[in-house]
Amino acid sequence: MPRHARGFDTEAAWEHLQRRDRRLGAWMKRIGVIEPEPRWKQSFDPVDALARAILFQQLSGKAASTIVGRVENAIDSRRLHFDTLGRIDDAALRACGVSGNKVLALRDLAARESHGEIPTLRQMSTMHHDEIVAALVPIRGIGRWTVEMMLMFRLGRPDVLPVDDLGIRKGAQRVDKSETMPTPKALAARGEKWGPYRTYAGLYLWRIADLAAGAKAPVNRSQED
């Protein structure tokens, strides 16, 4: 079974996108080369990463980090898994600042892990990115966007385009000088020419959206540690 490499050749991605899309290519030249995500080469624990993604949802980084720290202290571990989360009951999780919906999501994640339903990092290396999405979105509290962020920023998959992401859609609107944002379906069709480097195109679309919003620095969209 073929194994998928972590990360991709950004020079090849640059050249491909320059050839295939003149409008995007002009923006890329203006912005400059976006360097590879260093975490592509770092090992990580998918279950722990998903648990943290759940805890960080809809919160500022500072607030979420505080809650994660409380949970880690309560379970006496920095590893969020079925066995360690089993050390704390729901009331204690709520006391750490975890919402009721997130408690249910963590319990569902832990239960699925205990049943062997969460692919390991090694297993993911032999799975197409669509298979990884299909395996993880049934988890309560884990949507396609969360999995796509893992694919892009943790696994370094080269051909992922989060068409539902507002920043991606705003960036595409700016590139095409359109009065309205493209629908996810239209953006998926628009992005066909960017394959097999849709991930790299997405990184530029986010940066373009940041520039349009007047952001002084790129917005951090990768999943928290």
What residues act catalytically? 165
Q: What is the rounded CA–CA span in Å between residue 207 and residue 42?
A: 24
* CB atoms closer than 10 angstroms to residue 29: 11
> Which residue shows structure tokens 């648990």?
51
The structure tokens listed for 3 are 């194994």
CA distance readout (Å), 181 to 15, 19, 173, 207, 219? 26, 24, 5, 16, 19
Q: What is the rounded CA–CA span in Å between residue 68 and residue 52?
A: 7
Are 36 and 45 contacting, i.e. CB atoms less than 8 angstroms apart? no
Q: What is the rounded CA–CA span in Å between residue 72 and residue 51?
A: 12
CA distance readout (Å), 13 to 29, 153, 159, 195? 13, 16, 10, 9
